A and B are shown apart, each in its own frame.
Chain A
Amino acid sequence: MTNKTHRDPFGDDIVVEPREIEDPVVGLNKPALDSLIAGFRRFANSLTPRVRSACSATLVLSPEPGYGKSYLIGRLFQQLDDDATLLYVRPFQDPSSSWISILEKVVHELDRPDSIHKPARDPGELTQLDALARRLLFEVARDLILNGKLAHPDRSASSSMFEKFPNASLETSEWRTWLQRENESVVAAIDQALKHQHIELKPTRRAWLKVLIAYAYSEEDITRRQLCLDWIKYCPLEVDEGKVLGLKLSELPETELPYEQRNERAFERLCSLFAIGAFYRPFLLCFDQTELYGTSPELARSFGVVLSRLRREASNHFVVVTANTGVWESKVRPNFEKADQDAIAPEPIELRGMTKVQAQQLVGNRFAAWEIDDQVAAFCTSWLPGVFASRDQCSVREVLRAARRAWGSLAEPTVAEIFASYRRRHLASSTGLTFDAGVIEWAVVNMFGPSLDASVEHIRSPKGYLTVRCKIGDREELFGFEAKDHWKRWDAIVREAERYHQDAKAPAVTRSCFFRAHNQNRLPDRVLELVKARTSAVHIVELNADELASVFAAHDFIADVSQSNHYLAESEVRTFLRRELHAIAMRVWSDTSRPEPGAEVSVSLAELVERTVQSKRFVTLTLLLQALPKGTVESDALRAAGAIPKIRVHASPSNTVLQWLQ
């Protein structure tokens, strides 16, 4: 079961998630890492609070793909674990919603464990936003109580508590009761303290404090926490929901707002978040996979604007941008506006390849992780000298690929096998099937439309809810990508869709389409009734787990191809993916059949998966399926495995192996 043929220790050659990187190779890109850390420390040690400080983005360049850009970010995260709020930001797809997309990703990152060493959040584990809220409260409330500006029954006891347990001083039930009882006066006092520091937050300091306190002290109340996250993301809330958080009507996000203004509000939220975090620690904002901005001059220009505005208008953040030199110099940087050029620091950090000694260490690390007892030196003898025959250093990916060939003389994987491995990764990840409006919009424009031979164009409807138009002959389908479920916004969406339908030259063949994921909240009944009454104008397509996995996998696959992470022609992969996604495109276009519902994975299946993997330690997906009840499908098994923190799924194109982590 665990013999050599089942394991592919060199199959993973792309870092998908910087929070889950493997053991480091001594010395590899250490100067680059040291330089980033030194830059961050210089920034972090500047005036506290860092409400008015910002600096140019640090650029990390790789002379070819596979030198470890994402890995370097992972190392940086490990090194700065307690010293920064860590934000990993993948590219936005639409220039006009750049800030909405960035804010969405930032909030997703804030809701991740505060400790980098915890890939998934266990119950009771603090998130980054928890840490930020608690430390802000602690820093400000401590001073206020000790100075007598905030009343507390036992000032001397609190003083000693603050001294001894800075991280846990507001955690005891007495303190929680006090915070709850004195909520209004605590918020008012902190508000004054922030005002004294000239910290202006939008919409108000009070609203931010209310939301942060509500989030920090409602660990068990998932709905309340989600409301807080939605408010930070500028998603509309019901009035009653606002009341739960103690917010006034004027402090709630506006439900009907033109797109440009929503984008601007998202930027304001980001600035406020960074500013309020200045009392605790800086934000480390890492923009990775920037090759994707090279796909259009408009996207690249927009990325320049993002960096420039962050530098000029936001505070308390340190930005790292990674890029491959070729694309950066030919397709991204040249499209920046002249005024945005100085958003990047003039001295880039250039990555190095690995030396022969380091390559051997990497092989040793992989053997250790996969519990392989072979002699590293003996294994390397046959192929490693060849890799370094004409060079002194080599990309990590080249080394891994050569090692993989030597390990099993495996043939290069086919496009279909690579695509399947991406799908499996999404299915097996606890967050891999989270609705992402940007990716679904990408799929409509780049996959669904072309696979149906439709003409596709970006549009901007007056309210901004419809952003893509597909046309085949007279038939016209408009698309919108709304992630949330607020009835008032959906009411506005349906009204806009209906207006388009009525104003169309051929109303009978013009309608609007929206997407929902099987794992999202059900839309409110009144919205569903509204849609049901207007089926000729609007329809909602629900994507099940398999379909979502395919869409997200296609996006990631193309992203990696465009970053030259695979030796494949982009056109060939696009053609393949359009074929793969054709069935979904047809369903969206015709809406003739509903998908199989995305059934919840049963508890018994999850237990069986857990038991099987635990007993085998390493097991291939094929063997796991044989051990499960007849008829269990691959996607259910992978989703079950993805929900178990002790199981790591290695989905490489040649093989999928499930590992029980000790």
Chain B
Amino acid sequence: MPNSNGRRSPGPDAKAVAEKLLERLSASPEKWFDERALFDLEGNSKPGPVLKKALKQLLSDERVIHGGSISRRKVYRYSDGRDPSVMLRELYAEAIRGLAPGFSLRPGSENGLQAKLPKLPTRVLAWHATVLKDLAASGEILRLKHGSSPLFLFRRDIEAELARVRPSVPSSGPVATIASHSPVLSVPDRVRHAYGELRAERGLRNVSISSLLDRTGLSRDELHAFLLDECSAHRANPTLGEPTAATVHENDVALIIDGRPHLYVELLSMEGKHD
């Protein structure tokens, strides 16, 4: 029986095995499983055809993602429905964000940075350059040079240092705001930068469009044009919010999609589609 993708479904055995595999993976959604652990290969060095078929089906349905390999073993992980490439990219970004505070204040090579990360599979590591670019564009890191060595400065560490030296400086201080308004930055960079600041301040992924407008200093048309493009390209998610709880200004600058006003937006290209 063909499924939604026009492919044939596995037989009943493979289906049951697939369910079992999915159950195991979803029980530890943050964990990478190698084949040995995933299939309970007691004594057998390789999975049988039913196991292979079940896994293949789960991969094609995007219920499971293949992360490449760790120590030459193929690894797999539970997917909650997002695009695999976005998930892999976001996993790398999260690993970078998870570096111990103060890491960025020391110079080091890019390889040195990777060495500080937890063990990641090859298909996650492949996003290294892109993610660093994303994080730099969003203002989360600054990429500088110290002599001939690269120096990564995390925004959060700069803020922590500022707070330590001058406790009265608020965390969302003028540094960020000036950067958001900077005419040198392109529209996408200004929006991403402002989004990064607002997200960090509020601790929420969905940021109000009115606050983005205020923070970027862009015109409403400029911001809307950019956000509409991002939504169409599935790099941003609009949400309706609650017009009855919103101010007149918030409703006025809402993003109209399919005739309906959307008050919030989440930018995905740098943050991934899901946590």
Contact = CB atoms under 8 A, between A and B. Distances in A.
Contacts of B240: 64-65, 395
B81 A27 contact: yes
Contact of A390 (B61, B78, B81, B231): B231
A61 interface: yes
Interface in A313-355: 324-327, 330-331, 346-348, 350, 352-355
Given A347-B203, A380-B4, A391 B231 contact: yes
B135 to A, nearest CB: 21
B80 A30 contact: yes
Contact of B264 (A27, A63, A327): A63
Interface in A342-383: 346-348, 350, 352-358, 360, 376-377, 380
B244 interface: yes
Interface stretch (B31-39, B136-144, B267-275): B267-275
Given A376-B4, A390-B232, A391-B231, A325 B81 contact: no
Interface string A99-117: 0000000000000000000
A182 interface: no
Contacts of B268: 392
B234 A31 contact: no
A391 B82 CA distance: 12
B57 interface: no
B62 interface: yes
A61 B204 contact: yes
Interface string A436-471: 000000000000000000000000000000000000
B206 interface: yes
A325 B275 contact: no
Interface residues of A, number: 40
A31 B204 contact: no
B241 interface: yes
B245 A326 contact: yes
A34 interface: yes
A26 interface: yes
B63 A26 contact: yes
A294 interface: yes
A30 B29 contact: yes
A570 B244 CA distance: 10
A351 to B, nearest CB: 10
Contacts of A346: 203
A347 B199 CA distance: 12
Contact of B242 (A327, A357, A390): A327
B245 A327 contact: yes
A27 B240 CA distance: 22
A357 B87 CA distance: 15
A390 to B, nearest CB: 4
Nearest to B273: A392
A128 B131 CA distance: 50
Given A27-B80, A392-B273, A63 B203 contact: no
A350 B247 CA distance: 22
Nearest to B239: A63
Interface in A10-29: 26-28
A504 B237 CA distance: 61
Interface string B211-245: 00000000000000000100110100111111011
Given A27-B80, A63-B264, A326 B237 contact: no
A393 interface: yes
Given A325-B204, A391-B234, A352 B239 contact: no
B180 interface: no
Contacts of B203: 346-348
A330 B241 CA distance: 12
B242 A377 contact: no
B263 A326 contact: yes
B245 A294 contact: yes
A564 interface: yes
A300 to B, nearest CB: 12
A355 B245 contact: no
Nearest to A394: B237
A368 B273 CA distance: 29
Contact of A64 (B80, B242, B273): B242
Contacts of A27: 26, 78-81
Given A357-B81, A377-B4, A31 B244 contact: no
Contacts of B61: 357
Nearest to B62: A357
B4 A326 contact: no
Contacts of B22: 26
A311 to B, nearest CB: 20
Contacts of A355: 80-82, 273
Given A26-B63, A27-B80, A353-B239, 19 more contacts: A26-B80, A30-B29, A31-B29, A63-B266, A64-B240, A325-B264, A327-B245, A346-B203, A352-B274, A357-B62, A357-B63, A377-B3, A380-B4, A390-B228, A391-B231, A391-B238, A392-B234, A392-B237, A564-B244
10 contacts: A27-B78, A63-B204, A326-B241, A327-B245, A330-B246, A350-B206, A355-B81, A357-B61, A389-B232, A390-B238
CB-CB nearest 5 A-B residue pairs: A27-B80, A377-B4, A326-B242, A355-B81, A326-B245
Interface of B: 3-4, 22, 26, 29, 61-63, 78-83, 203-206, 228, 231-232, 234, 237-242, 244-247, 257-258, 263-264, 266, 268, 273-275
